[in-house]
Amino acid sequence: MNTSIGARSNPLERIDWDYVEFYVGNAKQAAHFYMSAFGFDQVAYSGPETGITDRCSYVLEQNNLRFLITSSLVPDDAIARHVALHGDGVKDIAIVVEDARAAYERAIAGGATSVSAPAEHADATGRIVRATIATYGETVHTFVQRSAYQGAFMPGFVAAPRTLPGSRKTGLQFIDHCVGNVGWGEMDAWGDFYARVFGFSQLVSFDDKDISTEYTALKSKVMSDPRHQVKFPINEPAHGKKKSQIEEYLEFYRGSGVQHIAIRTDDIVETIDALRYNGVEFLDTPDSYYEMLGERVGTIDEAIEVLRERRILVDRDDLGYMLQIFTKPLQDRPTVFFEIIQRKGSLSFGKGNFKALFVSIEKEQAKRGTL
C-alpha cells in the first residue's frame, strides 16, 4: 500500500496493492472470522451510522495487507445479487496509483471496459480519486489515488479500531499475487488484457504437462508489472480424466473469479503455527513428498522435519527458494482460499509442488463428490 509512487509516462508502470474487497452475506460475521482466524484488526467502518444506508463495510488491516468486507442491507442490489450467484467472494482488487484519471485513461485506451469513470470523494481530512474497470467474470479493478487523504480509509468511513484479544497475531505482511480462474480457452485473452491495459509482461507460464496428475490438469500464466510487485496468475481448465479444481471452482462460483490470494510472511513456520492455533484449516501434504525433499531443493534454512510437521511445501528456482501452504476454502462453497508464502529469493510459483498440491486438492474434491 505504498502511496509515494513516482510519476511515469505509463501511469500503471509503478503500482501497488491497495485493498481487496469481498462481497459477503454477513459482513459483521465475516469480519470477525478474518480477525479471529487470520489476525486482522478492524480500523474503519461504513454503514447506516455513517450515512450509508444500503450496505455495511468493515476495513481490516494487518501490516501492509488491507481487506474490505462488504455486505448488502437491501434484498436486491448488485452486492446481494453477487453473493446469491457466487457466494462470498472477491469483487474488487484495488490498485493504488499516483494519478487515477491517467491510469483510467491508459486502461481504457488499452481496451478495458469502464465500470465507473474517475470521481473525486472528499471529507474534512482530504480527498481521494477512484475509477473502476472490469476484468474477468464480475471482478473489477479500482484505481485509487489517495496521496491527498489522511482520514479513515476513504470518505464515507469512520475510524473504528477494534482488536480481538483471543487470537494470535499471524505475521501476514502483504499480497504476493492474486489468482484468477477463467473458462476454457480464455487464459491467453486475459493474459493479453493485462499486457495491453497495464503494460504487464508474462513472468512464467505452465501447461497441462507441468500441472497435472493422473486425473486432472490445468493451464496457467503469470502476468506481472516490471517490479514484480503486482502479479496476476490466470488459470484455465485443461482436459483430464476427471473434473479439475478449476472446473469445480467455475461450477460452484458460477463463472470466472478470484481463486486465491497469496499472502506473504517473513516467517512461515511461526505464521502457520499461529494460524493453526486460531483454527485455520490447511490442505494436507502426503508424507512421501518429504522423503526426497532435501535432494530436490538443496540446502535450505529450515529443518525438513519442521516443514513436515506443518505440511509446508518448498520449491527452488535459480534465484533462491520459496515456502508455501494453502488453506482449505474460506466458505462452504469450494471457491476462494488463501496461500501463505515466504520467499527467500525465489520468484517461482511452486512448479515443483504442483503434483503434491493437486493430490491434496483431489482428495478434498473426492470428499465433496466433485472429482
Buried b / exposed e over 177-198, threshold 16 CB at 10 Å, is bbbbbbbeebbeebbebbeebb
pLDDT at site 318: 87
CA 267/CA 193 separation, integer angstroms? 35
CA 55/CA 76 separation, integer angstroms? 12
Global confidence as pTM: 0.91
- Cell 448488502 belongs to residue: 72
DSSP 38-54: H--EEEEEESGGGT--S
Q: Which helix (H) or strand (E) holds 61?
A: strand 55-62
Q: What is the pLDDT of residues 102-136, one digit of tens each?
A: 999 999 999 999 999 999 999 999 999 999 999 99
* β-sheet with 65-72: strand ranges across: 114-123, 126-134, 140-145, 89-96, 16-23, 65-72, 55-62, 41-46, 158-162
Name the grid cell of 242. 476427471
CB atoms within 10 A of CB 53: 9
CA angle 351, 354, 357 (to 5 degrees): 145
pLDDT at site 327: 97
CB atoms within 10 A of CB 239: 10
What amino acid occupies position 274? A
**Domains with residue ranges and CATH for the chain:** 16-162 (3.10.180.10), 172-368 (3.10.180.10)
Spatial neighbors of 207 by CB under 8 A, at least 6 apart, are 219, 238
CA angle 256, 262, 264 (to 5 degrees): 165
Per-residue pLDDT of the chain (371 residues; tens, 9 = 90+): 544 444 457 899 889 999 999 999 999 999 999 999 999 999 999 999 999 999 999 999 999 999 999 999 999 999 999 999 999 999 999 999 999 999 999 999 999 999 999 999 999 999 999 999 999 999 999 999 999 999 999 999 999 999 999 899 999 999 999 999 999 999 999 999 999 999 999 987 655 455 555 555 678 899 999 999 999 999 998 876 667 788 999 999 999 999 999 999 999 999 999 999 999 999 988 888 888 788 888 899 999 999 999 999 998 888 999 999 999 999 999 999 999 999 999 887 666 565 555 556 566 667 877 76
Q: Which of 46, 73, 76 has its CA nearest to residue 58?
A: 46
pLDDT at site 172: 98
- The alpha carbons of the chain give a radius of gyration, in whole angstroms, of 20
Helix (H, G, I), strand (E, B) or coil at 355: helix
Q: Which of 191, 202, 198 has its CA nearest to residue 236?
A: 191
Q: What is the pLDDT of residues 57-89, one digit of tens each?
A: 999 999 999 999 999 999 999 999 999 999 999
DSSP 185-242: T-HHHHHHHHHHHH--EEEEEE-TTTSB-SS-EEEEEEEE-TTSSSEEEEEEEE--SS
By DSSP bridging, strand 16-23 and strand 65-72 are parallel
Helix (H, G, I), strand (E, B) or coil at 30: helix
Range list of H helices, the chain:
27-38, 78-86, 100-109, 187-198, 245-253, 268-277, 293-297, 304-310, 354-368
* φ and ψ at residue 328, rounded to 5 degrees: -75, 165
